Amino acid sequence: MGHTLTIVKRELASYFITPVAYVFIVIFLFLTGIFTFYLGSFFERGMADLTPFFVFHPWLYLFLIPAISMRLWSEERKQGTIELLMTLPIPMYAMVLGKFLAAWLFTAIALALTFPLWITVNYLGTPDNGVILAGYIGSFMLAGAYLAIGAFISSISKNQVISFVGSVVVCLLFILAGFPVVLEFVSGLAPQWLINTISQFSFLTNFESLTKGIIDGRFIVYVLSMIGCFLFANAVMVEMKKAD
Amino acid sequence: MAAMIEIKSLRKEFGSFVAVDGVSFNVARGEVLGFLGPNGAGKSTTMKMITGFLAPTSGTAVVCGHDILRDPMKVKAAIGYLPEGAPAYPEMTPWSFLNFIGQIRGFRGADLRRRVDEAVQKTSLDSHLYVPIESLSKGYKRRVGLAQAIIHNPEVLIMDEPTDGLDPNQKHEVRKLIGEMAKDKAIILSTHILEEVEAICTRAVIIAAGKVIADGTPAQLAARSDRHNNITLRVQSRTAGNFKDHVSSVSGVSEVLMVREHDGVATWRIVPKSGAALITQVGALARQNNWEVLEIRLEQGRLDEVFRDLTADATAKAGREN
Ligand SMILES: Nc1ncnc2c1ncn2[C@@H]1O[C@H](COP(=O)(O)OP(=O)(O)O)[C@@H](O)[C@H]1O
Ligand SMILES: [Mg+2]
């Protein structure tokens, strides 16, 4: 646990040494604002809740999360620091987990900085704060799932741009997996059981219930097991690719 | 002396290519082992296996009593390693970087501060502690790499081309530092600068095409040179017209070669039959014939020649050129 914590601290500090973190947070807040107020018709709906805010998160994260995760391992390999890291007495799980947790913590910070929105709805009306909390938890879990995918993809290539594009594509597949249109389209191409499984894994179907205020234990389990799987694949990939 | 590093038939294949082909040698405390070889010989790959970055295809190594396959964490804890090019996180400062490494190595609080200070002092990093590593010069970046490698005062120090790309002053500094640390550690450093081997190494292992082709003290290796035991002699030509005939007739002389003649001074090389010691006889001959000898010198042999001969052979045989 000590090693994981040391890695988390180093990684998190690195986000804030460079302007990247601040730029990311500003863009994140700006975009959530736009989505919520313009596309989500926050005021026009006349309802005191944050549904229009959360509803766009799967799409917002689609581009923002890969922007964070792309450097996780790609950069480590490009700089050659992976050789340093992997010859220090740290177990593999601590490296993989430490990097992932730091990135997740960072998104948590960005998410927490949307608190003025929460204050606003509470000022304007009497929202169900339980529903809002469920939305935040769901959004955080979603970010974790995207990040785990992104971390895994970034361990495949030295090139950050490739890592970014690859993560966007894979995350998109996980979003689209829930759309009936998409399911119909692939229904001819794949066996039914596979399609059923894929639709089970969709972020959207799983995420929507959360924004409605239902903390579905299955969603949490689903995300955590996804994170587990992708981080395991991440470790395997790092081990395979480290010397290339 | 007990060996602190025992390398046992290490082999590494990349696909069908054999990068390291059964390398074995031991390093004891107090030894500074120069690991020599042309580019692509397999030096870095061998070091990466010892330090636990790459898994060997077969063979193993034992570092401070711990097997690299069975106890990689203990091996990593015992080794200080400077990878090729001294990689470090570019956005960090040397100070935060060294603190990070120190924490990973398990130091906390006052102990951590003391160790960081010590490493900084030894590598003379004081003046550049708080600038991002990416803005440091090559020399300072290398010092940061060295500082992180010695922060835990390791018993075994492994450095991949520690002076590569440094200017002569920086090279001197790094060698001095290595020399100071040498007596209570087992050190392996790779290099292709032979003068470096003569300057700091107590032993040299030469590899080519993944195989060890020579192992001995720098002096022993130099003695394998064709020139070893040759006599070089400079003489005023007008006083020694009959030089070649006279010397050739001495028993034990195999060959007398004119190296050059310039400004009335001839430089000769006298090649003895194997093992023959000729310098006193040649000296006496010179006195008898009243040759005006300006210089007479017994060649020790040159490491670079030996290196070139041995490695060219082995590399050509393996059909491998990098
Ligand atoms: N990850 C790798 N994949 C494939 N070949 C490699 C890899 N690493 C090194 N090699 C090859 O192995 C040989 C030895 O490389 P290396 O150990 O770096 O040599 P040296 O350090 O002596 O210059 C080289 O021919 C190199 O191209
Ligand atoms: Mg090398």
pLDDT digits (tens, 9 = 90+) for B62-98: 999 999 999 999 999 999 999 999 999 999 999 999 9
Q: What's the distance, Cα to Cα, between the start and end of chain B in Å? A: 37
Residues of B in contact with A17 (CB under 8 A): 91-92, 132
Q: What is the pLDDT along chain A (244 residues), one digit of tens a residue?
A: 789 999 999 999 999 988 888 999 999 999 888 877 776 666 666 666 777 788 888 888 999 999 999 999 999 999 999 999 999 999 999 999 999 999 999 999 999 999 988 888 888 888 888 888 888 988 999 999 999 999 999 999 999 999 999 999 998 888 877 677 666 776 677 777 766 666 666 667 667 766 666 677 777 888 899 999 999 999 999 999 887 7
The confidence score (pLDDT) of residue A75 equals 92
Q: What is the pTM of this model?
A: 0.86
Q: Is the CB of B16 under 6 A from ligand 1?
A: no
Collect all residues of chain A within an 8 Å Cβ-Cβ radius of residue B54. 243
- Least CB–CB distance from A86: residue in B53, B79, B85: B53
Q: Which ligand has its closest atom nearest to the C-alpha of B84?
A: 2
Residue B14 CA: nearest ligand 1 atom is 4
Q: Per residue in B190-232, pLDDT tens?
A: 988 888 888 899 999 999 999 999 898 888 887 777 777 888 8
Residue with the bigger pLDDT between B306 and A94: it is A94
Domain segments of chain A: what residues? 2-243
> Is A91 an interface residue toward B (CB < 8 Å)?
yes
B4-22 residues labelled b (16+ CB within 10 A) or e (exposed): bbbbbebbbeeeeebbbbe
The shortest C-alpha distance from A1 to chain B (Å) reads 11
pLDDT at position A198? 63
Q: What are A120-126's contacts with CB under 8 Å, separation 24+?
A: A121/A48, A121/A49, A121/A50, A122/A48, A124/A48, A125/A47, A125/A48, A126/A48
pLDDT for B308-317, tens place per residue?
877 877 777 7
Q: Select from A87, A91, A243 the Cβ nearest to the Cβ of B51.
A: A87
The mean per-residue pLDDT over the stretch B266-289 comes to 86
With cut-offs at 50, 70 and 90, classify the pLDDT of residue B320: low
Residue nearest to atom 24 of ligand 1 (CA): B40
Instruction: State what percent of residues in chain B have pLDDT above 90.
Output: 54
Confidence (pLDDT) at B152: 96
Q: What number is the average pLDDT over the span B263-288?
A: 86
Spell out which residues of chain A touch residue B84, defining contact as CB-CB under 8 Å.
Answer: 80
Provide the number of CB pairs (under 8 Å) joining chain A to chain B: 61
Instruction: Give the separation between CA B153 and CA A126, rounded to whole angstroms.
Output: 62
- In chain B, which residue's Cα lies nearest the Cα of A88? B76
Q: Which residues from chain A sit within 8 angstroms of residue B104, using beta carbons?
A: 3, 6, 88-90
Q: Which tens digits make up the pLDDT trace of B27-50?
A: 999 999 999 998 999 999 999 999
Label residue B117 by pLDDT band (50, 70, 90): very high
- Closest by CA position to B93, among listed B126, B128, B124, B143: B128
Q: What is the mean pLDDT of chain B?
A: 90
Of all protein residues, the one whose alpha carbon is nearest to atom 2 of ligand 1 is A244
- Complex ipTM value: 0.88
Do B46 and B7 form a contact (C-beta atoms < 8 A)? yes
